[in-house]
Amino acid sequence: MSEPADPQHEPESGPRLGERISDPRRVRALAHPLRLRLLDLLSDGELTATQCAEATGESPANCSFHLRNLAKYGYIVPGERRGKEKPWKLATRSRDIRPDLGDSESIGAVAAMAVIALEREVDRVKAWIDCAATEEPAWVDSSTINTSSTWVTLEEYEEISRELRQLTARFAGRTEDPNLRPPGARPIRVLGVNAVDVERERRVAPQRPESGAGCTP
C-alpha cells in the first residue's frame, strides 16, 4: 500500500516523502477508521482536535485521544500553536505500508490495516454513487469502476503495480497547493488494486510447479 507524492511540490521544510512502514506496532496504530479519517482531514492542512471533532461528529476528547496515538507512532506532529489552540499536521504525505515478509506479526498487522483502508475507500465510492441522481451528468458519466482478469508473470505484475502508483503523478501537488488546481477541478479518489486471483488459481491451476502450491486457504 502506498500513497505517491511529488517532492517538487513540497516545501523544503514540509513533510517527508515515501516513508516505508513495516513495524507491526506502527501499522496497528493506523488500523482504526477514525484515525484514517483524521489523517485524511489533516492532508488538507493543520487542524485542532476540536476542528477534527466538528468534521467527524466525534467528541473533541475522542479525537484528541486518537490524534495523540497517531503522534506517538510518528504519523503526525504538532503544528504551530495559535494561542491556546494546539493544531496537528501530517509528518509525511506519502506512506509506503508493506509487511516485513519475515515477520508474521507484521504480515498480520498490514493485512488487518489493508482491510480497514479498503472498507473506507468503498464507503467513499458509495457516497459518490448516492449523489449520482443530483450530480452533473458529465461527472457521473466520467466515473469508472473497472475490473479485468488476465494472466501475468511476476515481472509484469510488478510493472502493473508501478503504473498504478503513477496514475495521478501528473496531478501531484494539487492537494497541498490550491493555486495548482485549474478552474473547475474537484477532489477525486483513484483506487488502484492488483491482486492474484487465488480463487481462480485454486480452481484451474492448483499446483504451480515452478514455485510450489501457492496460496493456501
- How does pLDDT run across 181-205, given as a tens digit for each residue? 999 999 999 998 999 999 988 888 7
- pLDDT per position as a tens digit, 84-119: 889 999 998 778 899 999 999 999 999 999 999 999
Sort 3 into a burial class: Cβ within 10 Å, 0-12 / 13-18 / 19+: middle
Phi-psi region of 149 (alpha: psi -120 to 50; beta: other; left: phi over 0): beta
DSSP state of 198: H
139 inside domain: yes
215 inside domain: no
157 inside domain: yes
Mean pLDDT of the chain: 87
Task: Provide the Cα torsion 60, 62, 63, 64; round to 10°.
Answer: 80
217 inside domain: no
CATH number at 43 reads 1.10.10.10
Domain that holds residue 17: 7-204
113 inside domain: yes
2 inside domain: no
211 inside domain: no
Helix (H) or strand (E) holding 76: strand 76-78
92 inside domain: yes
How much is the pLDDT for 124? 93
The domain total for the chain is: 1
Q: Mean pLDDT highest for which of 1-5, 19-23, 80-84, 106-110? A: 106-110
Looking at residue 183, its amino acid is: P
